[in-house]
Amino acid sequence: MRVVDWVIAIALVLIGLSCLTMSANMTGNVNSFGPYLTTLWKICLWAGIPAILVALLYFLLIKRK
């Protein structure tokens, strides 16, 4: 994949996470920005940590071969 393809893919993932956070935040206090950022941080951690672990395992297996 080219760099442009990666940028588009990452942008779409970030937009999706933002929409997920907004819908999760609508169940609580709608007038505050703090809970939105807290929820966004939690969702990004839940999405990011497994992605980082998979990437590290992938690179370790490639380097081993």
Structural domain count of the chain: 1
Q: What string of DSSP letters covers 42-61? A: HHHHHHHHHHHHHHHHHHHH
Domain that holds residue 39: 3-64
Model pTM score:
0.58
Rounded-to-integer distance, Cα 21 and Cα 44, Å: 9
Residues 27 and 22: their CA atoms lie apart, in Å, by 9
Render pLDDT for 11-30 as a digit per residue (tens, 0 to 9). 998 888 888 888 777 776 66
Cα separations in angstroms, 44 against 2, 3, 39, 54: 24, 22, 9, 15
Residue 38 is encoded by which pair of tokens? Answer: 């807290």
Provide the pLDDT for residue 30.
66
42-54: pLDDT as tens digits: 888 888 888 899 8
Largest CA distance in the chain: 53
